[in-house]
Structure 1
Amino acid sequence: MVDTDRITGAAKELGGKVQGAVGDLTGSKSDSVEGRFREAQGTAENLYGQAKDAVRHAADEASDYAEDAYEQGRRYLREGHDQSAEWPHTSLLVAGAIGFGLGLLVSRL
Structure 2
Amino acid sequence: MIDTDRITGAAKAFGGAVQGAVGDIAGSRQDSVEGRLREAGGRAENLYGQAKDAVRHAADEAYDHAEDAYERGRDYLREGHDRSAAYPHASLLVAGLVGFGLGLLVSKL
TM-score by length of 2: 0.92
Instruction: Give, in angstroms, the shift of residue 2 of structure 1.
Output: 1.0
Instruction: Give, in angstroms, the shift of residue 107 of structure 1.
Output: 3.5
Show the 5 A alignment for 1:6-85: 6-85=6-85
What stretches of structure 1 move > 2 A for 4+ residues in a row? 100-109
The unaligned stretches of length 5 or more in structure 2 are none
CA RMSD between the two structures: 1.2
User: Which letter does structure 1 place at the counterpart of 2:9?
Assistant: G
Instruction: Give, in angstroms, the shift of residue 3 of structure 1.
Output: 0.9
The alignment of Structure 1 onto Structure 2 pairs a total of residues equal to: 109
Instruction: Give, in angstroms, the shift of residue 70 of structure 1.
Output: 0.7
* Rounded Cα–Cα distance in structure 2 between residues aligned with 1:67 and 1:19: 49
The unaligned stretches of length 5 or more in structure 1 are none
The residue number in structure 2 matching 1:94 is 94
User: Which letter does structure 2 place at the counterpart of 1:27?
Assistant: G
Percent of aligned pairs with the same amino acid:
80
Instruction: Give, in angstroms, the shift of residue 108 of structure 1.
Output: 4.2
